[in-house]
Amino acid sequence: MSRPATEPSDLLITGASLLGRTSADVLVREGVIAAVGPDAATDAAAGTPRVDGDGLVLLPGFVDLHTHLREPGREDAETVRTGSAAAAAGGFTAVLAMANTSPVTDTAEAAERVLDLGVAAGHCDVQPIGAVTKGLEGAELAELGLMHRSRARVRVFSDDGRCVHDARVMRRALEYVRAFDGVISQHSQDPTLAGPSACCHEGELSGRLGLTGWPAVAESSIIARDAELALHTGSRVHVAHVSTAEGVEAVRWAKRRGARITAEVTPHHLVLTTDLLTGYDPVYKVNPPLRPAEDVEALREALADGTIDAVATDHAPHARHDKEHAFPDAAFGMLGLETAFAVVHDVMVDSGRIDLATLAERMSHAPARIAGLTDHGRAIEAGAPAHLVLVDPTDRITVDPATSHSLSRNTPFAGHTLTGRVRTTILRGRVTAADGEVRN
By annotation, the residues acting in catalysis are 314
- Angstrom distance (rounded) from CA 134 to CA 105: 9
Residues 111, 116, 121: CA angle, nearest 5 degrees: 130
106 annotated as belonging to a binding site for a ligand: no
The distance of closest approach from Cβ of residue 95 to Zn ion in the complex, given in angstroms and rounded to an integer, is: 12
436 annotated as belonging to a binding site for a ligand: no
The distance of closest approach from Cβ of residue 316 to Zn ion in the complex, given in angstroms and rounded to an integer, is: 6
153 annotated as belonging to a binding site for a ligand: no
- Is residue 187 a contact residue for Zn ion (CB under 5 A)? yes
Part in contact with Zn ion (CB under 5 A); list of ranges 113-121, 181-189, 245-253, 266-274: 181-189
Closest to Zn ion by CB, 34 or 200: 200
Part in contact with Zn ion (CB under 5 A); list of ranges 79-87, 153-161, 252-260, 400-408: 153-161
Amino acid found at 74: R
- Angstrom distance (rounded) from CA 191 to CA 174: 20
Phi/psi at 16 (5° precision): -80, 150
Interface residue with Zn ion among 71, 219, 314, 322 (CB under 5 A) is 314
Cβ atoms 407, 77 nearer than 8 A: yes
Closest to Zn ion by CB, 160 or 246: 160
Closest to Zn ion by CB, 25 or 71: 71
Part in contact with Zn ion (CB under 5 A); list of ranges 114-122, 145-153, 180-188, 431-439: 180-188
70 annotated as belonging to a binding site for a ligand: yes
The distance of closest approach from Cβ of residue 68 to Zn ion in the complex, given in angstroms and rounded to an integer, is: 6
Closest to Zn ion by CB, 25 or 219: 219
Closest to Zn ion by CB, 8 or 161: 161
Closest to Zn ion by CB, 106 or 314: 314
The distance of closest approach from Cβ of residue 241 to Zn ion in the complex, given in angstroms and rounded to an integer, is: 6
- Is residue 160 a contact residue for Zn ion (CB under 5 A)? yes
- Is residue 226 a contact residue for Zn ion (CB under 5 A)? no
314 annotated as belonging to a binding site for a ligand: yes
- Is residue 106 a contact residue for Zn ion (CB under 5 A)? no
Closest to Zn ion by CB, 160 or 264: 160
Part in contact with Zn ion (CB under 5 A); list of ranges 89-97, 152-160, 247-255, 337-345: 152-160
Of 238, 268, 431, the closest CA to residue 338 belongs to 268
The distance of closest approach from Cβ of residue 246 to Zn ion in the complex, given in angstroms and rounded to an integer, is: 17
Residue whose C-beta lies closest to Zn ion: 187
318 annotated as belonging to a binding site for a ligand: yes
341 annotated as belonging to a binding site for a ligand: no
232 annotated as belonging to a binding site for a ligand: no
69 annotated as belonging to a binding site for a ligand: yes
- Which residues, 374 to 433, sit near Zn ion by CB under 5 A? none
The distance of closest approach from Cβ of residue 435 to Zn ion in the complex, given in angstroms and rounded to an integer, is: 29
The distance of closest approach from Cβ of residue 182 to Zn ion in the complex, given in angstroms and rounded to an integer, is: 19
- Is residue 269 a contact residue for Zn ion (CB under 5 A)? no
- Residues in contact with Zn ion, total (CB under 5 A)? 3
Part in contact with Zn ion (CB under 5 A); list of ranges 179-187, 216-224, 270-278, 317-325: 179-187
SS3 letters across the chain: CCCCCCCCCCEEEEEEEECCCCEEEEEEECCEEEEEECCHHHHCCCCCCEEECCCCEEEECEEEEEECCCCCCCCCCCCHHHHHHHHHHCCEEEEEECCCCCCCCCCHHHHHHHHHHHHHHCCCEEEECECCEHHHCCCCECCHHHHHHCCCCCCEECCCCCCCCCHHHHHHHHHHHHCCCCEEEECCCCCCCCCCCCCEECCHHHHHHCCCEECCHHHHHHHHHHHHHHHHHCCEEEECCCCCHHHHHHHHHHHHCCCCEEEEECCHHHCCEHHHHHHCCHHHCCCCCCECHHHHHHHHHHHHHCCCCEECCCECCCCHHHHCCCHHHCCCCECCCCCHHHHHHHHHHCCCCCCHHHHHHHHHHHHHHHHCCCCCCCCCCCCCECCEEEEEEEEEEECCHHHCCCCCCCCCCCCCEEEEEEEEEEECCEEEEECCEECC
List the 183-186 sheet strands across, edge first: 156-157, 183-186, 236-239, 261-265, 310-311
Q: Which residues are annotated as a binding site for substrate?
A: 68-70, 100, 287, 318, 332-333
Known binding site for Zn(2+): residues?
66, 68, 160, 187, 241, 314
Contact positions vs Zn ion (CB under 5 A)? 160, 187, 314
Q: Give the residue numbers of the binding site.
A: 66, 68-70, 100, 160, 187, 241, 287, 314, 318, 332-333
